[in-house]
């Protein structure tokens, strides 16, 4: 083995060992062991907390699968450790940001990683949730003080994006028009013209990455984040931002040309009406998307675009509204009957969801109406 290759391999293994030690220490801090000491050679530019809240209660298998997916989805940002809260529906993640020295680069990378984690949960586990992101901080041992000031990812990105609101809206609209007309080659020309007038080139180039992805999703929601970022080199963008961004746009063109015309929302409207008519049926994102000939990710995005809600949120809300009606209309149905009528064969799980949704058990809720 050549000496240079051996040295690089040794450095890579040492980095992996340091990152493993760092991850273990972070996990210990999250678990409430304040005495945990950081590795002496842990090079971290900043620390950050993010939080993922499930829309409905999780199973043990779902929690385990989400924890296992952390390393893969958040790896581009740095080293991560995660822990579920006692109620099992909220996952707190600590990130040691050791990949990109500049904060503006890290913010874009975090946007990509957060969406990757949300896609992982939605597609692989059929579980939607809301992502919250905190501010960067300097001392990992001080992480508890940074739990409260977190913002939902869309609000957070609007505040930290290097492209301010009015400009971002104009750019997104222009990109959406090009994509809608299937004039994909014009996207690079448009962005190239914008960049000629920018003095802070690197931040704006990084800021365009989410704008381009959002514009594509507005017309081709079936494309996964992994597919869209396949030709994107974030490391190369730190060195040659304009060239790397335009190279990515060129790489996207054959992917976009292979897409069929945008699907209209009519199939989703039929799903909505079906759920409203009878929410006792065993609906699932996977089965519905398959029956419509859509990918789970595309179905999820179409549904959200039509309703403003995630599929699981809409289904749970519809079922809980029916449960409240059945418990309050004096029919004296058993708990098992109400549970089954609302699409929950397991009455214990039904009680868990009902308590989270209303703040009361089904029995407590029913009693409030009997006492009236």
Least confident of 37-51, 70-84, 212-226, 307-321: 37-51
The structure's pTM equals 0.77
Strands laid side by side in the 151-152 sheet: 79-84, 90-97, 46-54, 129-137, 151-152
Residue 146: other Cβ atoms inside 10 A: 17
Per-residue confidence at 372, pLDDT binned at 50, 70, 90? low
Instruction: Please give the sequence-ordered ranges of beta strands (E in DSSP) within the chain, or none if there are none.
Output: 46-54, 79-84, 90-97, 129-137, 151-152
287 compared with 11, residue with greater pLDDT: 287
Residue of 141, 46, 149 whose CA lies nearest to 103: 46
Rg (CA), the chain: 23
221 compared with 335, residue with greater pLDDT: 335
Q: What is the β-pairing status of strands 79-84 and 90-97?
A: antiparallel
Per-residue confidence at 1, pLDDT binned at 50, 70, 90? very low
Least confident of 16-30, 228-242, 292-306: 292-306
Residue 4's pLDDT is 47
The answer as to CATH 3.30.70 being correct for domain 15-160 is: yes
| Spans of all domains in the chain | 15-160, 165-257, 266-370
What is the rounded average pLDDT for all residues in the chain?
Answer: 85
Q: What average pLDDT does this structure show over 274-289? A: 86
Residue of 199, 208, 194 whose CA lies nearest to 108: 208
pLDDT tens digits, 284-321: 887 788 777 777 777 877 787 778 788 888 899 999 99
Residue 11: is its pLDDT beyond 90? Answer: no
Architecture of domain 266-370 in this structure = Orthogonal Bundle (1.10)
Residue 265's pLDDT is 60
pLDDT tens digits, 148-159: 889 989 889 999
Residue of 111, 207, 192 whose CA lies nearest to 161: 207
Residue 9: is its pLDDT beyond 50? Answer: no
Least confident of 29-43, 312-326, 350-364: 29-43
Give the CA dihedral 27, 31, 35, 37, nearest 10 degrees.
0
C-alpha pair distances (Å), 184 with each of 169, 216, 246, 302:
19, 10, 12, 22
Selection from 230-234, 286-290, 353-357 with the highest mean pLDDT: 230-234
Residue 110's pLDDT is 96
| Alpha-carbon gap, residue 138 to 287, rounded angstroms | 45
Per-residue confidence at 260, pLDDT binned at 50, 70, 90? confident
pLDDT tens digits, 116-137: 998 888 877 777 788 899 999 9
Structure tokens at 319: 């079922």
8 Å CB contact between 104 and 94: no
Residue 370's pLDDT is 66
């Amino acid at each position: 083995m050549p000496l240079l290759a051996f040295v690089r391999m040794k450095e890579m293994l040492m980095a992996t060992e340091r990152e493993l030690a760092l991850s273990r220490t972070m996990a210990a801090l999250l678990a409430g062991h304040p005495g945990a000491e950081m590795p002496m050679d842990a090079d971290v530019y900043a620390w950050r907390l993010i939080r993922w809240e499930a829309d409905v209660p999780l199973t043990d298998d779902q929690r385990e699968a989400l924890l296992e997916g952390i390393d893969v989805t958040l790896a581009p940002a740095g080293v991560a450790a995660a822990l579920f809260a006692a109620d099992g529906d909220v996952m707190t993640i600590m990130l040691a940001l050791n990949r990109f020295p500049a904060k503006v680069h890290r913010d874009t990378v975090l946007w990509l990683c957060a969406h990757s984690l949300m896609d992982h949960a939605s597609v692989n586990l059929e579980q939607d949730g809301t992502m919250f992101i905190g501010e960067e901080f300097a001392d990992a041992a001080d992480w508890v003080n940074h739990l409260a000031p977190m913002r939902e990812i869309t609000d957070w990105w609007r505040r930290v994006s290097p492209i301010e609101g009015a400009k971002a809206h104009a750019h997104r609209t222009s990109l959406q028009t090009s994509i809608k007309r299937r004039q994909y080659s014009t996207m690079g020309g448009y962005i190239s013209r914008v960049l000629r007038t920018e003095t802070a080139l690197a931040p704006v180039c990084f800021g365009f990455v989410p704008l381009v992805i959002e514009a594509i999703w507005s017309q081709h929601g079936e494309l996964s984040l992994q597919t869209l970022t396949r030709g994107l080199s974030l490391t190369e963008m730190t060195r040659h931002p304009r060239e790397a961004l335009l190279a990515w746009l060129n790489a996207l063109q054959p992917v976009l040309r292979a897409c069929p015309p945008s699907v209209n929302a009519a199939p989703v409207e039929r799903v909505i009406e079906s759920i409203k008519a009878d929410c006792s049926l065993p609906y699932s994102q996977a089965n519905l998307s398959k029956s419509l000939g859509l990918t789970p990710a595309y179905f999820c995005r179409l549904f959200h675009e039509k309703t403003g809600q995630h599929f699981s949120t809409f289904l749970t809300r519809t079922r809980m509204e029916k449960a409240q009606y059945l418990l309050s209309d004096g029919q004296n149905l058993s708990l098992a009957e109400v549970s089954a009528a609302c699409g929950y064969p397991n009455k214990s799980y039904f009680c868990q969801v009902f308590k989270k949704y209303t703040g009361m058990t089904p029995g407590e809720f029913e009693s409030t109406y009997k006492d009236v």
